[in-house]
């Protein structure tokens, strides 16, 4: 079994090549399970049966001046989402309490917009301090572009992780957004790392990228040493530029997940937005590759009933918690 043996070599220190990654994306659909089994060897070796749960609070919604083609929160999108300023500290803290009560490992505070204002950063920092005093839950902040000074303030407040996705490959970036650039995102990730915050950065697949783009993204995140890699699968939202995009199916998604696992074997691979609509009845197979998922709703789209997620994890024999081997968080 080729993929099983490749996984054993990777566990031994071998680095997966681009040609091998390309072969994964092109594997015949009736051989996808062999690839999943190979990727599972890596997931099991580094993370056992542990499944990490993450929960998002959409702390500031809409009115974003960036023109990201996939996003319903952009002012360029013709959508009717709820738009509101940053919620209060109390709302953020209460969300953390609910997350902790539901076995959530990481609580993600997410804001729309290019970057947070100084006041917004202070509010988030104050809320995080309150959360950390009350409960042992990990905090991830997603506040757009930040500099090192802001990152240090977040670190001092108790933020464990900061998310800023690459989203797509550098060569494809101007097809997705032009109001900021790929290197702006890279600079934010580096600022986070310099502040000693665990970097979280991932991608959105299904936006017209090529196989080579997907492989380039996986290697870019390896080079950046992202501790957590969320893999989003485009959920085309009416009113956005990509509303008619339809490039994904369950087998394609599983192959993409396998590529990221083989290239980044020791990292947290998270199935993120679009899981339900793209993996559909194959979501359980995705968990044999990924060791982390979001529970509940996303930013402006709905997730599936959380009871189904908990049941799926239990049925697979996985355990919710922090038994995974994590080096930085």
Walk along the chain (329 residues) and give the pLDDT tens digit of each residue. Answer: 699 999 999 999 999 999 999 999 999 999 999 999 999 999 999 999 999 999 999 999 888 998 999 999 898 988 888 889 999 999 999 999 999 998 899 999 999 999 999 999 999 999 999 999 999 999 999 999 999 999 999 999 999 999 999 999 999 999 999 999 999 999 999 999 999 999 999 999 999 999 999 999 999 999 999 999 999 999 999 999 999 999 999 999 999 999 999 999 999 999 999 999 999 999 999 999 999 999 987 877 778 889 999 999 999 999 997 433 343 33
- Contact criterion met (CB below 8 Å) for 60 and 84: yes
Chain Cα centroid distance, residue 234: 12
Cα 271 from chain centroid?
A: 7
Decide: helix, strand or coil at residue 153.
helix
What is the rounded CA–CA span in Å between residue 145 and residue 166?
12
Distance in angstroms between the alpha carbons of the first and the last residue of the chain? 34
Compute the distance between CA of residue 215 and CA of residue 209 in angstroms, rounded to an integer: 10
Question: Beta strand pairing status for 268-271 and 292-294?
Answer: parallel
Token digits for 169? 């490959």
Angstrom CA distances, 137 to 112, 140, 293, stand at: 23, 10, 16
The token pair that represents 270 in the structure block: 């998270």
- What single-letter DSSP state applies at residue 172? G
Of the candidates 51, 45, 28, 48, the one whose C-alpha atom is nearest the C-alpha of residue 262 is: 45
Give the Cα separation of 61 and 73 in Å (integer): 7
- Residue 251: CB atoms within 10 A of its CB come to 20
Q: d(Cα 179, Cα 157) in Å, to the nearest integer?
A: 30
Beta carbons within 10 angstroms of residue 129's beta carbon: 16
The separation between CA 182 and the C-alpha centre of its own chain, rounded to angstroms, equals: 17
Rounded Cα gap, residues 40 and 45, in angstroms: 8
Q: What is the pTM of this model?
A: 0.94
The two three-digit tokens of residue 41, written as one number: 């060897």
Quote the pLDDT of residue 7. 97
Q: What is the pLDDT of residue 62?
A: 84
206's CB contacts (< 8 A; 6+ apart) are 233, 234, 245, 247, 248, 274, 278
Which tokens belong to 252?
A: 């394609």
Give the per-residue pLDDT at 1: 63
Residue with tokens 């196989």: 211
Distance, in Å, from the CA atom of 248 to the CA atom of 229, rounded to the nearest integer, reads 19
pLDDT of residue 326: 42
Supply the pLDDT for residue 299. 79
Residue 307 has a CB neighbour count (10 Å cut-off) of 8
User: Residue 26 and residue 32: Cα distance in Å, rounded?
Assistant: 10
Cβ atoms of 247 and 208 within 8 Å: the answer is yes
């Amino acid at each position: 079994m080729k993929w099983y043996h490749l996984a054993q070599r990777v566990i031994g220190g071998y680095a997966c090549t681009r040609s091998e990654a390309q072969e994964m994306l092109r594997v015949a659909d009736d051989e996808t399970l062999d690839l999943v089994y190979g990727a599972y060897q890596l997931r099991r070796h580094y993370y056992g049966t542990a499944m990490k749960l993450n929960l998002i609070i959409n702390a500031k919604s809409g009115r974003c001046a960036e023109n990201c083609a996939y996003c319903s929160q952009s002012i360029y999108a013709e959508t009717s989402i709820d738009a509101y300023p940053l919620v209060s500290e109390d709302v953020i803290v209460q969300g953390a309490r609910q997350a902790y009560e539901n076995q959530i490992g990481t609580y993600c505070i997410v804001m729309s917009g290019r970057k947070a204002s100084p006041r917004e950063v202070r509010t988030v920092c104050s809320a995080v301090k309150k959360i950390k005093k009350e409960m042992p839950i990990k905090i991830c902040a997603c506040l757009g572009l930040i500099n090192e000074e802001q990152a240090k303030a977040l670190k001092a407040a108790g933020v464990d992780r900061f998310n800023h996705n690459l989203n797509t490959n550098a060569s494809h970036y101007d097809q997705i957004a032009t109001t900021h650039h790929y290197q702006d995102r890279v600079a934010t990730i580096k600022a986070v790392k310099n502040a000693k915050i665990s970097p979280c950065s991932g991608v959105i697949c299904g936006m017209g990228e090529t196989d080579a783009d997907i492989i380039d993204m996986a290697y870019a995140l390896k080079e950046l040493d992202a501790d957590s890699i969320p893999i989003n699968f485009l959920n085309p939202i009416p009113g956005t530029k990509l509303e008619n995009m339809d490039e994904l199916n369950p087998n394609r998604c599983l192959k993409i997940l396998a590529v990221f696992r083989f290239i980044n074997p020791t990292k947290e691979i998270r199935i993120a937005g679009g899981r339900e609509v793209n993996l559909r009845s194959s979501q359980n197979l995705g968990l044999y590759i990924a060791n982390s998922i979001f529970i509940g709703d996303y930013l402006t789209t709905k997730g599936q009933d959380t009871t189904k997620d908990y049941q799926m994890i239990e049925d697979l024999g996985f355990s919710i918690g922090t038994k995974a081997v994590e080096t930085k968080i």
